[in-house]
Amino acid sequence: MFFWRDDVGDLRRAFTDRSGGVSSGVYAGLNLGGHVGDAPDAVRENRIRVADEMGVHIDRLVFMDQCHGSDVAVITEKPDGPLVVDGIVTAEPDLALAVLVADCTPVLLSDTQAGVVGAVHAGRPGMTKGVVPQVISAMRDLGATRISAAVGPSVCGRCYEVPLEMREEAAVVSPESRTVTWTGTPSIDVAAGVVAQLRGARVDGITWVPGCAREDESLFSYRRDGTTGRFAGVIVRTSR
């Protein structure tokens, strides 16, 4: 179920993989994406299993309706309707935040002393639009001063081929994202760009979890498979 997990004190952080779910076909395993064509009952059961493992009720697990932008929501409870943002922040205990990905970079942020956590969906558009710094700013508005980050697995720079012009546009925002593929063609390392933005925002501790979604079949990858599921980054500060 978990590609990586870290529980310290009242903070729980994890990135899921494909194991331990009930979805079938091209979504086989623990697909958590409800917008990709999978059976709704299977997605709900998969989400319940993740919520249980993270120590919260399914009604306290919040997903975003991600749109490759830079908007951020600060919440105190689970919204009734769609949450059309790419970053989410809360200071409420036992409210788990989730980010869905299948190549994009998932980022989990926390300040345990201030009791503030955040989740970010950082694809190439989100990285270039500054969604990560926007979430950090929202956390600091809630009193966060010592923020730590976990950057999850995503498509690596060697596997993310793009036109030269697109790569150079991303490099204007984050030079660290400029790279080449296995064959030497232009590509973008979104995670490297995100890590550089975290460092630029004075994030104290950064854990960059190794792994390429396209190369590792235990993860969902849109660039590898086309129609596919979504894995997730999940973070929660518990009250127990």
Place of tokens 């993740």: 50
- Whether the pLDDT of residue 114 is over 80: the answer is yes
User: Which pairing describes strands 186-188 and 105-111: parallel, antiparallel, or unpaired?
Assistant: unpaired
Domain that holds residue 129: 2-237
* CATH number reported for the structural domain that contains residue 159 in this entry: 3.60.140.10
Q: How many whole angstroms separate alpha carbon 216 and alpha carbon 218? A: 5
The predicted-structure confidence for 59-86, as pLDDT tens digits, reads as follows 999 999 999 999 999 999 999 888 999 9
The predicted-structure confidence for 97-108, as pLDDT tens digits, reads as follows 999 999 999 999
- Whether the pLDDT of residue 239 is over 90: the answer is no
pLDDT band at 11 (very low <50, low <70, confident <90, very high): very high
The count of domains in the chain is 1
Q: If you compute the radius of gyration of the chain from its CA atoms, what whole number of angstroms results?
A: 17
Q: What is the mean pLDDT of the chain?
A: 97
- Cβ neighbours, 10 Å, residue 161: 17
